[in-house]
Structure 1
């Protein structure tokens, strides 16, 4: 029964990892690609590692540590990549409606002039 549960987690994780790869191909600009790849791959990696914990119970502590590192590093690295892309003026898709970072900088510039 544990193998079935573990296999289910791994399968669902693989589907999320596949959707992350598909998102990298289908999204219109660098910012949405980074978001699609990060969110789906974080969940996919976590589910695969949980599935492995069912297969190898003695590895559970190590796998929990790996899940923790994935949860910490993926969002931070995607934020750093997005910020760097914005700073070098990587163009956004025409369908992008809000540029929160530009709005924040405009507000800060107005406040510093006052």
Structure 2
């Protein structure tokens, strides 16, 4: 049975965007939605996750669990998915030291 799938991308190569646009609509830049079977979804996600390069991608699709969906991620992201007793939660990693030690903003800015 076909079900709704959402994939959001950031800074992925053009060929990844082309592959996604063959199967899904892009209502907003970098966000793809479509209805497809689990087999097509899994094959498409394997291509996307193997090709993100320096970018990142997130796939959200229905699943038979307490939340009713599953989150898959690929690439380096500040937000990571963690399993907490069967629930998928989002964890933010700390900013790097260089970003945390920014110089103070001058007065009047």
- The structure richer in strand per residue is 2
- The structure richer in helix per residue is 1
Structure of greater Rg? 1
TM-score above 0.5, yes or no: no
> What is the TM-score normalised by the length of structure 2?
0.25
